[in-house]
């Protein structure tokens, strides 16, 4: 028997704290990017699946977008296909793209669907190719060294960026009480497949759905200040300033830009949350303290507990 079960008063206190958030967000859409440790550790995998089911049960509409980079790397290694990276992005030729589709659209996607279903939910797995949900174009990568007069365009193959998100299929599923689980694979007008960064897909899906929240699970506690404390309740203007002065840099920068762009694109709030914490999504949505960095527009920046 766990500690909460031994102390009914604590259980009641937690439920009471969650009530106003449940009332506020019932009927709203929350897009969750699932990846990192939360996707590879058994206890975190189980807690994530249960979180999605609980959110659906209290009237919130979760939409899951997942990654799968480590799993792709493992299969490529087993098949003796070399992995090369340019600027942190996997160079994806036609052979590698076949593996990406197998892993993201098959193995990983169906595993997540199965976990949610086993926890009592109704999940359906999709890729961006289903219903042409994610229209993509090839990502152009530029490189310029000091001695070059013009940037060099590097072809990294079937790596894409989002051109358009069609929401009709996702909306139909959520209205019928399903939880969509989306693999970040897009398609262009000629039918070519593209592997797209899952954070970027989640952000664009959140914008297209006019979601209440975008939640990006990561392997850090959130955006940290110089004292090592998690910063939260940030406005878009504050985030722009932190990028400008170099406080936000390195590997965190693309994720923060994704969260920032989503809010500027109409999503009510973006959250960078610690996926290493069990039930991180519920803690961020339903408790006053939360477990990560919250970004909103200027008008709501003072509301740091949502």
Beta strand segments in 96-150, E: 123-127, 134-138, 141-143
Measured between alpha carbons, how far is residue 152 from residues 63, 196, 294 in Å?
38, 21, 37
pLDDT at 129: 94
Quick one: what percent of the chain has pLDDT higher than 70?
A: 89
Q: Could you tell me if 248 and 304 are in contact, meaning their C-beta atoms sit under 8 angstroms apart?
A: no
| Lowest model confidence (mean pLDDT) among 42-46, 57-61, 133-137 | 42-46
Query: Residue 303's pLDDT is what?
Result: 45
Asked if 182 and 63 count as a contact pair (C-beta separation under 8 A), the reply is yes
Query: Which tokens hold the place of 114?
Result: 């199965």
Mean pLDDT, rounded, for 60-79 = 93
| Spatial separation of the C-alpha atoms in residues 130 and 185, rounded to whole Å | 10
Helices (H) and strands (E) in the chain, counts: 11, 16
List, for residues 5-22, the tens digit of each pLDDT value. Answer: 556 676 677 778 888 999
How far, in Å, CA of 178 to CA of 171, rounded? Answer: 10
Residue 37's contacts (CB-CB under 8 Å, 6 or more residues apart) are 44, 219, 275, 276
Structure-token pair, residue 171: 């909306």
* CA nearest to 184, candidates 43, 64, 15, 46: 64
Q: What is the pLDDT of residue 3?
A: 47
Has residue 301 got a pLDDT over 60?
no
Residue that wins the pLDDT comparison between 83 and 112: 112
pLDDT in tens, 199-252: 999 999 999 999 999 999 988 888 887 777 888 888 899 899 988 888 887 778
For the 27-300 domain, the top CATH level (class) is alpha beta
Mean pLDDT value across residues 34-62: 89
Binding residue positions for substrate: 68-69, 90, 195
How many Å apart are CA 102 and CA 72, to the nearest integer? 9
In the chain, where the domains are located: 27-300
Residue 113: the pLDDT is 97
**Residue 152's pLDDT band (cuts 50, 70, 90):** low
Cα distances (angstroms) measured from residue 176 to each of 110, 124, 132: 20, 11, 20
* C-alpha–C-alpha distance, residues 291 and 277, integer Å: 8
Q: Is 201 helix (H, G, I), strand (E, B) or coil?
A: helix
Residue 225: per-residue pLDDT: 77
Rounded Cα distance between 36 and 214, Å, is 16
- Edge-to-edge order in the sheet of strand 61-66: 123-127, 179-183, 61-66, 29-34, 213-218, 269-274, 292-296, 234-235
Q: What confidence score (pLDDT) does residue 36 get?
A: 75
49-53, 104-108, 251-255: the lowest-pLDDT one: 251-255
> Binding site: which residues?
68-69, 90, 195
Maximum Cα interatomic distance, the chain, rounded to a whole number of Å: 70
Q: What is the mean pLDDT of residues 117-142?
A: 93
pLDDT tens digits, one per residue of 160-213: 999 999 999 999 999 999 999 999 999 999 999 999 999 999 999 999 999 999
Residue-level pLDDT at 251 = 77
């Amino acid at each position: 028997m766990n500690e909460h079960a031994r102390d009914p008063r604590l259980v009641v206190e937690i439920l009471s704290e969650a009530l106003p958030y449940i009332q506020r967000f019932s009927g709203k859409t929350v897009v969750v990017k699932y990846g990192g440790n939360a996707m590879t550790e058994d206890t975190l995998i189980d807690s994530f699946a249960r979180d999605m089911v609980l959110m659906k049960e209290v009237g919130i509409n979760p939409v899951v977008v997942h990654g799968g980079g480590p799993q792709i790397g493992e299969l490529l290694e087993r098949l003796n296909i070399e992995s090369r990276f340019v600027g942190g992005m996997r160079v994806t030729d036609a052979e590698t793209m076949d593996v990406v589709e197998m892993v993201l659209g098959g193995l990983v996607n169906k595993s997540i669907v199965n976990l949610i279903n086993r926890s009592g939910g109704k999940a359906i797995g999709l890729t961006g190719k289903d219903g042409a949900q994610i229209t993509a174009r090839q990502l152009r990568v530029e490189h310029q060294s000091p001695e070059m007069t013009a940037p060099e365009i590097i072809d990294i193959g079937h790596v894409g960026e989002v051109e358009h998100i069609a929401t009709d299929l996702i909306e139909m599923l959520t209205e019928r009480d399903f939880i969509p689980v989306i693999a970040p694979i897009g398609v262009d007008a000629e039918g070519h497949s593209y592997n797209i960064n899952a954070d970027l897909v989640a952000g664009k899906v959140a914008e297209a759905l006019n979601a209440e929240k975008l939640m990006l699970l990561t392997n850090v506690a959130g955006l940290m200040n110089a004292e090592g404390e998690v910063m939260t309740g940030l406005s878009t203007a504050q985030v722009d300033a932190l990028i400008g002065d170099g406080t936000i840099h390195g590997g965190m920068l693309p994720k923060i830009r994704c969260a920032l762009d989503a809010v500027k694109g109409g999503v009510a709030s973006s959250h960078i949350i610690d996926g290493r914490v069990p039930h991180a999504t519920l803690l961020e949505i339903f408790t006053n303290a939360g477990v990560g960095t919250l970004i909103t527009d200027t008008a709501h920046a003072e509301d740091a507990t949502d």
